[in-house]
Amino acid sequence: MEFYIISVLSNKGGVSKTTSAINIAAYLANKGKRVLLIDFDAQANSTLSTIGTGNGHVGEWLVGEKSFSDVVVPYIDNLDVLPAARALDTYAKAIGSENDYQFLLKERIEEEKLDDSYNYIIIDNAPSLTTLAYTTFIAATHILLPSAPEEFAIAGIANVLQTVANVKKRYNPTLKVAGIFFSKYHPSYRSKIDNDMVFATKDAYGDLVMETTIRTNVSIKEALAFKKPVFEYAPDSQGSKDYEALVKELIERL
Domains present along the chain, CATH in parentheses: 4-253 (3.40.50.300)
pLDDT of residue 189 exceeding 70, the answer is no
Between 219 and 11, whose confidence is greater? 219
User: Which of 175, 197, 242 is closest to 19 using CA atoms?
Assistant: 242
3-state secondary structure at position 143 = strand
Judge whether residue 187 has pLDDT over 90: no
pLDDT at position 16 is 92
Q: Return the ∠ at Cα 41 (arms to 45 and 60), rounded to 5°.
A: 110
What's the confidence (pLDDT) of residue 172?
97
Higher pLDDT among residues 216 and 109, named by residue: 109
| Residue 190 pLDDT grade (very low, low, confident, very high; cuts 50, 70, 90) | low
Burial profile 26-63: b = 16 or more Cβ within 10 angstroms, e = fewer: bbbbbeebbbbbbbbbbbbbbbbbbbeebebbbbbbbe
pLDDT digits (tens, 9 = 90+) for 69-123: 999 999 999 999 999 999 999 999 999 999 999 999 999 999 999 999 999 999 9
d(CA 14, CA 170): 31
Residues facing residue 143 across a β-bridge: 7, 177
pLDDT at residue 148 greater than cutoff 90 = no
pTM, to two decimals:
0.96
